[in-house]
Amino acid sequence: MTDLFQYNEEQELDNNTSGNVHFRDILEQAITRRSLITKTASGAVALTLASTLTGCGSDSDSTPENNDPAKLPTKLNFTPVAKNLNDIVTVPEGYEAKVLYAMGDSINQYYGPWDDTNVPSGPSFQFRSGDCHDGMSYFGLNTTTGRYDDTKSDHGLLVLNHEYINQTFLHPEGPTTDANGRRPEDQVIREVNAHGVSIVHVKKDSKTQAVEILKNSIFNRRITASTEMTFAGLVAKSPLLSTRFSPSGVKTRGTQNNCGNGYTPWGTYLTAEENFIGYFFRSGTDQYARSTNENVALGRYGLGLEISYQDAEKTIENKDALGRTLYKDKKSRYQWETAIAGVEDQDMYDRWNASVVGTSASEDYRNIPNNFGWIVEIDPFDSRQAPVKRTALGRFAHEDCRSSRAIEGQNLAFYMGDDSRGEYIYKFVSDAQWNPKDVNGGYAAGDKYMNSGKLYVAKFNADGTGQWLELSISNSAIANYAKYDFVDQADVLIHARIAADAVGATRMDRPEWVAVNPNNGEVYVTLTNNSNRGSSKYPEQPVDAANPRNYSDTAEQLPGKGNVNGHIIRFREDADTTTATTFKWDIYLFGAEAKMLENVNLSGLTDNNDFSSPDGMWFDHRGVLWIQTDDGAYTDTTNCMMLAALPGALGDGGEATTSNGQATIMGAKVTDENLRRFLTGPKDCEITGVTMTPDYKAIFINVQHPGEDSPAYNDATSHWPATQTDPTNSTARPRSATVVITRKDGGVIVGA
């Protein structure tokens, strides 16, 4: 994407300088199948749907097993979608894909439809779809009670994230600045409103399976980067949250960079604040107005300052009149802080400046970065109460947040990844044990299960086991950490990354989405890719058992380029209990091109299921795993995609050796019957976000940033979603959108 403001995400991806163990240290001893692979029986009952759901009458297979839509298929039998570079969403034979909700579409009956040649005003985006659709969940709606009902497929609330924006196509002619370098207010308002979350009421015809948005529904609303929110949990009222807007640190405005998501057993939505740090400006003079603790923390989270030099060789430092080293300003991603108020209050723009400008934290926004990086709970059925930032789950670049299975009388756990190179995998275990009576408990249930508990970070061992290390101020490693002086437990939660450094957690390669298998509780985490892995330029990231590949792109015949195509790791709690502090792990699946050598294509992928850069991931309630890609390595051959998988269980594979001689432990090789490509997206897109109606007859996915590589707004590489119905369209601007996919015969998705 060509933007006026080129944003370098490196400041958000490489901030772990802790020196903690990499997986390189895991297997410095002999590995035996016996010590690393333990076959365990399925520990708990699979989730099932309510008895009101019936089988699909149009299924051709008449066996009782395949007439039950809640039954996990024994094999995949849809026609695999071929790799392609078409500018449409391509689905299997017998399926159809329809665009449901695209950037700028109205969700209010009093606001007009999207006009491609007359982009609506910034304020109107409070009632329109945001941009860059991402994580998404479906909540069945009981139209009699107006509450959550997980058996309802005819009416539901579709809740989805809008991660960031494609400035090139969001504005009439791309983003602009005035002669003084300030952003126009209407553009800033449009951009702020295009972030956040959408809640839309959808209706599905029980016969045709056609899905529509009800624009006159009272449930339709937008949550944006300006929406007021409250803090809950131990961090609420911490001085480290104090701002001019909320000196007491009890509330804030907005949520942004919402990537992955989750949902609670009681019927609320969880949105993850990921690469939030780039939204804030920091002055180069700010370094000397901060305490040592503050500067360490800002640097660890990506808002550290770089030294300014006089010459190109960077050998002579600039000094101020006091002889102090000068630092460069840290520019914000979209420069919202530069806008001059006319419609909004000036404070709405000042809040994006994280510099010290007042005499105390209550007079400026020096602490505003601490207001972001949380898991935010949203009750789709309650517009009266503000969304809640659940601080007990820690602050970092949250990619996703997935609940454990809800088993009565057992503690709930929430698993999370920190999407940055060298970061960690976390879990939060609630002090409260699950009670099904809390369904529809709203934010009160959230208070019960998400305000009090223990936050852990993962450490992986050489023998295929791992430990969960508690992040607590009572841990001497944290209390006595030399690089940062923790004050209290709230400080630990706000700076969870630093606390994880202190306890010696295992550095991982960009943990992205998390998925929990409903049939056995195993936890899957996508590790998208890492060009640094095994490179001589990055000696701190050699290949290791859990990140074992360094290989070349065979299409280009280049030297080793690291872990080009990514993989999926999985682990299982000991005794299948969420409170366990130990677990076992292996690698479920390796991304690769089918034509690669066997010791690179370790999972045995074929042309029907090869893929690169796994990112989005979700188990439906039957146990079908949906895998989505956000790729740049294989896009000369195919657009990004989604695959359906029927995974086995931890320990179903064995030992393997990669092309670079690294030993590893992996799951069983896949076949065309248990992994198939279900769809491909349009040009330059990411496929992300996936959810389904409880009857399994409509599946929703998101297409993010089609045409991202376009050089200018009037020179687009994609014209989707217009091309979905008119492949000859060569003028429409590309827009992110939600797509609904159904079977033409009205049957169950990947059913018989």
The residues, any chain, with a CB within 8 Å of residue 381's CB and separated by 6 or more, are: 139, 141, 146, 147, 148, 157, 219, 267, 440, 442
Tens of pLDDT, residue by residue over 653-680, are 999 999 999 899 999 999 999 999 999 9
**Are 220 and 200 within 8 A, CB to CB?**
yes
Q: Is 222 helix (H, G, I), strand (E, B) or coil?
A: strand
Lookup: tokens for 651: 């320990």
d(CA 477, CA 479): 6
Please state the rounded mean pLDDT for residues 461-485.
Answer: 95
Q: What pLDDT is attached to residue 556?
A: 47
Q: What is the dihedral of CA 109, 111, 114, 118, to 10 degrees?
A: 160
Q: Which residues contact 84 (CB under 8 A, 6 or more apart)?
A: 90, 638, 639, 680
Split at pLDDT 50, 70, 90, the class of 29 is very low
pLDDT at residue 32 tops 60: no
Neighbouring residues of 476: CB distance < 8 A, sequence distance ≥ 6: none
Please state, in angstroms and rounded to a whole number, the distance separating the CA atoms of residues 697 and 678.
Answer: 15
Rounded to whole angstroms, how far apart are CA atoms 258 and 391?
A: 16
pLDDT tens digits, residue range 202-221?
A: 999 999 999 999 999 999 99
Any idea what the Cα angle at residue 647 is, between residues 600 and 692, rounded to 5°? 120
How far is residue 147's CA from residue 141's CA, in Å, rounded to a whole number?
A: 6
State yes or no: pLDDT of 136 exceeds 50: yes
How far apart (Å, rounded) are the C-alpha atoms in residues 130 and 166?
Answer: 11
* Count of CB atoms situated within 10 Å of the CB of 215: 17
Other C-beta atoms lying within 10 Å of the C-beta of residue 659: 18
Of 1-5, 133-137, 715-719, the one with minimum mean pLDDT is: 1-5
Quickly count helices (H) and strands (E) in the chain.
12, 33
Contact 233, 250 (CB under 8 A): no
Whose CA is closest to 445, among 396, 399, 385, 520? 385
CB 629 within 8 A of CB 611: yes
Instruction: Please report where in the chains the tokens 């997206």 appear, as a residue.
Output: 681
Bond from prior residue into 64 cis (ω within 30 degrees of 0): no
Q: What is the CA radius of gyration of the chain?
A: 25
Indicate whether 38 pLDDT > 90: no
The tens digit of pLDDT for each residue in 69-96 reads: 889 999 999 999 999 999 999 999 999 9
CA 425 to CA 412: how far, in whole Å?
17
Structure tokens at 575: 């005794």
pLDDT at 419 exceeding the cut of 60: yes
Could you give the angle at the alpha carbon of 334 between the alpha carbons of 333 and 335, nearest 5°?
A: 105
- Quote the CA–CA distance of 491 and 235 in Å, as a whole number: 8
Query: What pLDDT digit, counting tens, does each position of 613-630 carry?
Result: 999 999 999 999 999 999
Please state, in angstroms and rounded to a whole number, the distance separating the CA atoms of residues 253 and 272.
15
Specify the range with the lowest mean pLDDT, choosing from 45-49, 307-311, 468-472.
Answer: 45-49
Backbone φ, ψ for residue 541 (5° rounding): -125, 60
Check residue 320 and give its pLDDT: 84
Asked if residues 425 and 286 have their Cβ atoms less than 8 Å apart, the reply is: no
| Residue linked to tokens 């299409």 | 555
At 47 the pLDDT is: 28
From CA 197, how far away is CA 377, in angstroms rounded? 11
% of the chain with per-residue pLDDT over 70? 90
Strands (E) located in 118-250: 133-142, 147-148, 155-162, 196-204, 211-213, 221-223, 228-232
Residues 6+ positions from 19 with CB-CB distance below 8 Å: none
Strand partners, 691: 700
Q: Which residue has the tokens 């956040």?
A: 196
Q: Quick one: tokens of 146?
A: 């107006």
**Lowest-pLDDT range, 27-41, 241-255, 547-561, 714-728?**
27-41
